[in-house]
A and B are shown apart, each in its own frame.
Chain A
Amino acid sequence: MLSVKGLKANVGEKEILQGLDLEVGPGEVHAIMGPNGSGKSTFAHVLSGREGYEVTDGSVTFDGADLLELEPEERARIGLFLAFQYPVELPGVNNTYFLKAALNAIRKSRGEEELDAVSFMRLMKERLKILHLDDSLLKRPVNFGFSGGEKKRNEIFQMAMLEPKLAILDETDSGLDIDALRIVADGVNALRSPERSMLVVTHYQRLLDYIQPDYVHVLAKGRIIRSGGKELALELEEKGYGWIVGEEAA
């Protein structure tokens, strides 16, 4: 599904990713954990094609495609989704309209028929139900004036509508209280399927109490320095990052 080999990337002169390797299979949920400044967000951004990062070495293949060659919208159209740490506000752009345009852009690129308003509304209702969300956010402009929790819920709802093959959740837990966290996590769990892989990027273990990963990776200084099962996250919770990072340095 996703294969990252020896990925190196700079922001300006500074090398942030220093040879990152990662394999994600279909339906697998991988957690990427690490201390601040370890390169977690950079990794998420490089995968989604954000400008401002220079890839200097390595390769990323996604579903057979050379991901690094593609524009952000092309990545989205072949099934990549990034849930933003800080979702962006689009004043005046209706949330429903935005989603419909996005979904139809993706469908069009795949040679599928675009959804008309009626089928789209039907699909939207069905997905709202799965996520136990109400439709109050849909009539408002995208993320505009949303609370932190509403923004994150909206991201998960977009994910449900766009049906990606690989969803990257970038610090989705940040800024959420425990109730909001539970709603978001329930949403993510409802969207787990054998065809959908997930990359959960997080600083804290607490999100992983709700979204149980198949694999946990520790990112430090731009490389994955340890991988394990979900018990690794618990160990990190208990001991902090210092012992692994220190061990690596020694």
Chain B
Amino acid sequence: MSATPEDAVREAGQYDDLVKSEYEHGFVTEIESDTLPPGLDEDVIRAISQRKGEPEFMLEWRLSAYRKWLEMPTPKWASVHYPPIDFQSISYFSAPKKKEGPKSLDEVDPLLLETYEKLGIPIEEQKALAGVAVDAVFDSVSVATTFREKLAEVGVIFCSISEAMQEHPELIKKYIGSVVPATDNFYAGLNSAVFTDGTFVYVPKNTRCPMELSTYFRINTANTGQFERTLIVADEGSYVSYLEGCTAPQRDENQLHAAVVELIALDDAEIKYSTVQNWYPGDEEGRGGIYNFVTKRGDCRGARSKISWTQVETGSAITWKYPSCILRGDDSVGEFYSVAVTKGRQQADTGTKMIHLGKRTSSTIVSKGISAQHGQQSYRGLVRIAGKAEGARNHTQCDSLLIGDKCAANTFPYIEVKNPSAKMEHEATTSKISDDQLFYCRSRGLSEEDAVSMIVNGFCKEVFNELPMEFAVEAQKLLSISLEGAVG
């Protein structure tokens, strides 16, 4: 028994069976998919919009995004390397075949439920134990939504974005693309044109969402790019915490994932967004891993609002991701806490942008990068203090931990200050797990693996402290598993 919850987390991180080191979640569920043939043109976009029964304004928005996307170049500035992607070889829609949407879990395809069981996230159990409502995205269509009634009681809308477009078109119309416009960047443009599903959350005024909201994404059908779209709106004085966790089955060909996440916090609202990402990183040579090109941005639109990103990134062949905050409202607060692990041939270029527009806005950035084997990692962060952002503050801390001598870590901090009253702090460190540290731990009876896991978890502690409890446990476990065999 553990005396405190903190101990429970530590113990879970420490004593879990860490035997398997190959990617644990590499299996494929056999379910017939209704899949569009590969290729992308305006007809494909019309077909997606039609299949989803979208309102006319969405189709127009998608088509306009597509036309602009055609003129955009692929971004080349990130410190990652991969062969050019053939966007015509991707199938843009894949839905598990079902005539009617399930009304309860009993109606959900048992094979799907089994998949979640294998991932260790049995919906039934979660419902009972954790009080977590799960909107599960399996391929591109949401298949199960739980706890909706309970949320509805307090007026919280938590549903797939497809449903939201039919049931709450006015909210979608008002907010979609208002944080990440379709022209924002190449992958956001593509997502705007072809996104198939995702999550919508609306928390009404002065409402504290009664539970953590959670979505598990999973890429399943071969060659199907995933283009989720998530939109979370926290109205004045509200609070919501959202958890996102990802795994994917093993595949030979690279799979593209280009999601867009938009968060909007109005006056005095707070959004906490946590991610544990564990997509297939590819084999030892990096073949077959996921390309994770994601645009995540939060808009602190209201005064005294707060948006906090916490991410633990252990998977994917390539990660290209900068969860950002636009601090528009006066006295608004942005936070970014990140742990990123690269090993094998994984590459990650990740960081954040904090755009200070309002007065007395403040932001905190804590980034912990861990590289092992041939892992390549860059922290890329921008802190911009606009001319009107009187009294803005930022604290940035970037730490890199290297394991072995073939990996690399880079830090690219960009700082633009246009108001002389700004207070900026930047700290950066790079360290290695030394043989001395390992020997010291082993001479006290700890195995080498436990020693590495302990040192790495110690390194990441500040970030794990920001995660909700159940995610912190999962994150420690993930970290231990993913660093197995990375030493020596």
Contacts and interface: CB of A to CB of B under 8 A. Distances in A.
A73 B440 contact: no
B61 interface: no
Nearest to B434: A88
A158 B440 CA distance: 12
A70 B94 CA distance: 55
A93 B444 CA distance: 14
B147 interface: no
Given A73-B446, A101-B450, A118 B3 contact: yes
Contacts of A101: 14, 446, 450, 454
A76 B444 contact: yes
B458 A91 contact: yes
Contact of A92 (B444, B448, B450, B459): B459
Contacts of A213: none
B230 to A, nearest CB: 32
Interface string B456-471: 0111110000000000
A98 B3 contact: no
A50 B4 CA distance: 36
Contacts of B30: none
Contact of B440 (A51, A84, A91, A116): A84
Interface in A10-50: 48-50
A130 interface: no
A158 B450 CA distance: 18
Given A51-B435, A93-B458, A105 B446 contact: yes
B450 A87 contact: no
Contacts of A116: 1-3
Contact of B458 (A75, A121, A141): A141
A6 interface: no
B441 interface: yes
Q: Which secondary structure dominates chain B's binding surface?
A: helix
B443 A82 contact: yes
B439 A90 contact: no
B445 A106 contact: yes
Contacts of B434: 88
B455 A90 contact: yes
B2 A117 contact: yes
Contacts of A72: 439, 442-443
A102 interface: yes
Contacts of B447: 73, 105
Nearest to B8: A117
Q: Which of B1, B431, B445 has the most CB of A within 10 A?
A: B445
B458 A73 contact: no
B440 A121 contact: no
B10 interface: yes
B125 interface: no
Interface residues of A, number: 36
A87 B440 contact: yes
A71 interface: yes
Contacts of B253: none
Contacts of B460: 92
Contacts of A165: none
Interface in A67-119: 71-73, 75-77, 81-82, 84, 87-94, 97-98, 101-103, 105-106, 109, 116-118
B411 to A, nearest CB: 18
B89 interface: no
A93 B4 contact: no
Contacts of A48: 443
A49 B443 contact: yes
A7 interface: no
Nearest to A144: B458
A144 to B, nearest CB: 9
A20 B1 CA distance: 48
A48 B2 CA distance: 32
B437 interface: yes
Contact of B444 (A49, A109, A118, A158): A158
B7 interface: yes
A162 interface: yes
Contact of B442 (A76, A81, A97, A158): A76
B16 to A, nearest CB: 13
A141 B440 CA distance: 14
Contacts of A90: 437, 440-441, 454-455, 458
B450 A105 contact: yes
B436 interface: yes
A118 B4 CA distance: 10
Nearest to B368: A92
Nearest to B1: A116
A162 B446 CA distance: 12
Given A93-B454, A101-B450, A141-B458, A117 B4 contact: yes
Interface in B208-255: none
Q: Which of A48, A84, A90, A121 has the most CB of B within 10 A?
A: A90
B444 A162 contact: yes
B440 A97 contact: no
Interface of A: 48-51, 71-73, 75-77, 81-82, 84, 87-94, 97-98, 101-103, 105-106, 109, 116-118, 121, 141, 158, 162
Given A98-B444, A101-B446, 11 more contacts: A49-B442, A73-B445, A77-B445, A88-B439, A90-B440, A91-B459, A94-B458, A102-B446, A105-B447, A106-B445, A117-B7
5 contacts: A84-B440, A91-B459, A101-B446, A117-B3, A162-B444
Top 5 nearest A-B pairs by Cβ distance?
A92-B458, A117-B3, A93-B458, A76-B445, A88-B440
